[in-house]
Amino acid sequence: MRGQDLVMLPGPVNVTHDVLSAMSTPMFNHRGEKFSVVYRSVKQKVRKVLRSSGEVYFVTGSGTAGNEFAVSNLVAPKEKVAVFTNGFFSDRLRDTFRAYGAEVIEIASQWGAGLDIERFEAVAGEVSLAAAVFNETSTGIVNQIRDMAKIASQHGLLTIVDNVSGVGNRYDMDGWGVDATVTASQKGLGAPPGMAIVVLSDRAREKAKKIPKRSYYFNFDLFEKYAQEDSTPATPAISVMCALDASLQNIMEEGVDNFEERHRVSASALRAGALRCGLELFGDPELASNTVTALKLPGKARAVVKTMLERYGVAVSAGLGKYREDVLRIGHMGSVDVKDIVATLSALELSLKELGIRADGLGEGVSSALQVYSGAPPEKVKSGEPQFSHPFNMKR
């Protein structure tokens, strides 16, 4: 009988026992002081993770709900906006703007490539707002948000960033000049699904007060009013908030910089192992994400996903959209560490052999990953160019 599966999805993620225990907290009054204490605690920790002093709003729902909250409150009908697209989730962000009547100038790049910053510079004078996905989960890359925000600032534009799956990569909302950041509980923050989080700068809040309200559930005026009281307009997912408070506390104790470094090393180890197995990264290696790796597996991705889960108890994902059969996506975020990376690579190697994709070299991927964790210089790891080059303390 197989035990609990190892969840290495691009979200949701493995949830530690202490976080699950916090989620089982008995119900209490969401209009009372006990909830306000949890609200304030989560808000302050979110600010530290995102490096922001902005106001924090909690929207019961998925990360998509957070994106819709931001768009519906920051864009007026027929307002001209620039939206970068280079993957499945940036396409969804574009479609959200269109659903709210924005006139979208789409700045498209191929899936796996970064943002077309040069094209943005050419159109920045025509728009009032720019939006992009920070960590494109479908392709395993992080986009150049700092570059986008710098140009936007020069032209006085607001910026909206979907950072739903990017926590674990370094993100500096205030330092980069981002006006609205959307994230969610179920990915890098290491809690169960159910809570979107939106952080707004003062400039974004001022604009939101002037935008015509087209949704009752996402009405900014209501969220702003209740935020001043450390509460939410409607009944929140109390259990998820308690879990989120516990998972964020784990990040605080680890230290945000250490948390991000652990993600970087785990990503380097996973990629080193996968490349040693003969696989290739789907996206630009220079933009490789700390939280998601996308690998080319033409026509075989879904078979590998099925085998890894059914035979070895490791849950990973196939590609999205037109690449659903051709890309393998592995998440390495939240509490993921060396044992999870080794187990995942072991299941991957066995599955590749079982399916006849790679006949020999069993164990070489795991060995390459362990060299990364041991601090081997990149040139000594026969797997491409992992960027880890010094010993890493795995104590957490």
- Per-residue model confidence (pLDDT) at position 375: 87
Angle in degrees, CA 36, 38, 43, rounded to 5: 95
Closest to 273 measured CA to CA, from 382, 353, 374: 382
Peptide bond into 12 cis (omega under 30): yes
**Pair type for strands 6-7 and 280-281:** unpaired
Q: Which residues pair with 130 in a beta bridge?
A: 82, 159
- Per-residue model confidence (pLDDT) at position 2: 66
> Is residue 191 pLDDT above 70, yes or no?
yes
In whole angstroms, give the CA distance from residue 176 to residue 120.
17
Which sign does the torsion angle of CA 247, 252, 256, 257 carry? negative
pLDDT digits (tens, 9 = 90+) for 10-43: 999 999 999 999 999 999 999 999 999 999 999 9
Residue 131 sits at φ, ψ, to 5 deg, of: -140, 145
Please report, as a single letter, which amino acid is at residue 249: Q
CA-CA-CA-CA torsion for 210, 214, 219, 222, nearest 10 degrees? Answer: 70
Q: Domains for the chain: give ranges and CATH numbers.
A: 17-253 (3.40.640.10), 255-380 (3.90.1150.10)
pLDDT band at 360 (very low <50, low <70, confident <90, very high): confident
- Per-residue model confidence (pLDDT) at position 3: 73
For residues 196 and 61, the answer to whether their CB atoms sit within 8 Å is yes
- Per-residue model confidence (pLDDT) at position 380: 45
The arithmetic mean of pLDDT across residues 285-292, rounded, is 98
In whole angstroms, give the CA distance from residue 95 to residue 139.
19
Closest to 62 measured CA to CA, from 19, 11, 14, 136: 11
* Lowest mean pLDDT segment, chosen from 54-58, 202-206, 359-363: 359-363
The rounded percent of the chain whose pLDDT value lies above 90 is: 92
pLDDT band at 361 (very low <50, low <70, confident <90, very high): confident
- Per-residue model confidence (pLDDT) at position 366: 97
CA-CA-CA-CA torsion for 199, 245, 163, 301, nearest 10 degrees? Answer: -160
Residue 328 sits at φ, ψ, to 5 deg, of: -105, 125
Which distant-in-sequence residues (6+ apart) come within 8 Å of 50 by Cβ?
163, 167, 171, 173, 181, 183, 199
Angle in degrees, CA 86, 87, 90, rounded to 5: 85
Please report, as a single letter, which amino acid is at residue 377: P
- Per-residue model confidence (pLDDT) at position 378: 46
Block residue for tokens 């159910």: 194
- Per-residue model confidence (pLDDT) at position 376: 58
The arithmetic mean of pLDDT across residues 58-78, rounded, is 98
- Per-residue model confidence (pLDDT) at position 377: 52
In whole angstroms, give the CA distance from residue 270 to residue 280.
12
Surface-to-core class of residue 245, CB atoms within 10 Å of its CB (0-12 exposed, 13-18 middle, 19+ buried)? buried
pLDDT band at 229 (very low <50, low <70, confident <90, very high): very high
pLDDT band at 385 (very low <50, low <70, confident <90, very high): very low
- Per-residue model confidence (pLDDT) at position 164: 97
Which distant-in-sequence residues (6+ apart) come within 8 Å of 70 by Cβ?
160, 180, 182, 198, 200
- Per-residue model confidence (pLDDT) at position 221: 98
Helices (H), the chain: 17-23, 33-50, 63-74, 88-99, 117-123, 145-154, 173-176, 202-210, 220-227, 238-254, 256-276, 301-312, 338-354, 364-374
The arithmetic mean of pLDDT across residues 113-119, rounded, is 98
The arithmetic mean of pLDDT across residues 106-134, rounded, is 98
Block residue for tokens 């590609």: 319
Mean pLDDT of the chain: 94
pLDDT band at 9 (very low <50, low <70, confident <90, very high): very high
Surface-to-core class of residue 212, CB atoms within 10 Å of its CB (0-12 exposed, 13-18 middle, 19+ buried)? exposed
- Per-residue model confidence (pLDDT) at position 359: 77
Which sign does the torsion angle of CA 284, 48, 69, 235 carry? positive
